[in-house]
Structure 1
C-alpha cells in the first residue's frame, strides 16, 4: 500500500513538472497594437421606448397561494412602514419594425405601490447589444384580481 501511494505521488509530481516545462518551452509572446484603422468606430445612440405592458393574471390560484405565504412573512418593523416589492427580471423581445430580432433586459427591484418606479436596463441583444439605461414604470390601471396596465418609459444607450 505504501509503495502504491509513493508511486502515485511520484507520478503526480512528474506530471506537474512535465506539463509546466512544456508550457514554458512552447509559449510564444505575441503583440500587435491596434491602429486607428483597425478600431471599429462606434457611435453611442440613446433610444427612448414608450409602451404599455398588459399584465393579465391567467392563473387565479396565485392569489390564494400568496395569502397562505403571508403567514410565514415576518411582520413589518413599524405599523405604517410596510411596502410590497418584487425583484423583477424582464426580457422584452422585438418582433417587427426597426428593432426586429433585438431585445432588452431589465432587472431590478420593483416597489409596486410607488407611483413611479425606476429599474435598470442591464443589457440587450441585436441592435441593443451592450445596452444600458433605465426604465420608468407607472401603473396606469389595476384591479383586485391582480391584472394591471403598466406604462414603460425606457431610455437605452447602445451602439
Structure 2
C-alpha cells in the first residue's frame, strides 16, 4: 500500500514537472533561407486628419451605447473612426503636393486619463519613386504631441517592410479635433 502511494506521488510529481518544462512560451529559432540584405528608406511627409467641416477626412462610425461624442473629442472608450487622410510633402494642405493617402481606422482603447488609440492604417503613396507602394501601420497610438508607431508590413517597393514612424503634431485644434502630423518614417524592406 505504501509502495503504491509512493509510486502515485512520484507519478504526479513527474507529470507536473514535465508539463512545466514543455510549457515554454517560445520555440527554438531556426535560420531560414531569406534575403539577407534589407534596404533602409527614410521618408518625410505630413498627415492631415480633419474631423470638422462639410467634408471631413475622418468620421465616427461607432460609439458605446448611450454616449454623446462632441465635435473635436476623439470620444469615449470604444469610439471608432475611419479615415481617408491626405499625405503631403509639406505642412500646408493647400500649397503642398499630395503624395498619397492614409486609410484605416482608429479606436479609443483607454478607459483612464492616458488617452490612447489603436491605429490600423495603410499609407499608400501615389506619386514619385514609391508610387503604387504602401506601408502598413498597426500600433498603439497615445494622444501626445510626439509619439512612435509601428510599421508592420508593406507592398510594392516596401515588401516585407518593418520599422517605425515618428509622429509630431505640428497643428492641433483642440476645439474641432483637426490635426496635422509631421511623419519621419524609417522603413526596412526588401
The TM-score range, normalised by the shorter chain, is 0.5 to 0.7
Q: Indicate the residue corresponding to 1:109 in structure 2.
A: 140
Counterparts of 1:60 and 1:98 in 2: how far apart (Å)? 27
Q: State the shift of 1:90 in Å.
A: 1.4
Alignment RMSD, CA only?
3.2
User: Which residue matches 1:36?
Assistant: none
Larger helix percent: 1
Partner residue, 2:178 = 147
Q: Provide TM-score, normalisation by structure 2.
A: 0.52
Q: Computing the radius of gyration over CA atoms, which structure comes out larger, 1 or 2?
A: 1
Consecutive aligned runs of 4 or more in structure 1 exceeding 4 Å deviation: 39-42, 59-62, 69-75
Q: Tell me the equivalent position of 1:91.
A: 122
Compared CA separation, residues 115 and 43, structure 1 to 2 (3 A): same
Distance 2:185 2:176 in 1: 27
- Gapped regions of structure 2 (runs ≥ 5): 1-32, 61-66, 79-108
The yes-or-no answer on 1:126 pairing with 2:156 is yes
- Residues 45-100 of structure 1: CA distance to partner in whole angstroms, max 9, x if unpaired? 100111111111128985x8425x64999974xxxxx1111001111111111111
Would you tell me which structure has more strand in proportion to its own residues? Answer: 2
Tell me, in whole angstroms, the C-alpha distance in 1 between the residues paired with 2:135 and 2:57: 26
Aligned to 1:66: 69
Question: Secondary structure of the equivalent of 1:130?
Answer: coil
1:43 aligned onto 2:37: yes
Quote the Cα distance in structure 1 between the aligned partners of 2:162 and 2:138: 11
Q: Do the aligned partners of 2:49 and 2:57 also contact (CA within 8 Å) in 1? A: no
- Aligned residue for 2:69, secondary structure, equals helix
Q: Higher relative CO (CA 8 A, sep ≥ 6), structure 1 or 2?
A: 1
State TM-score, norm by structure 1.
0.61
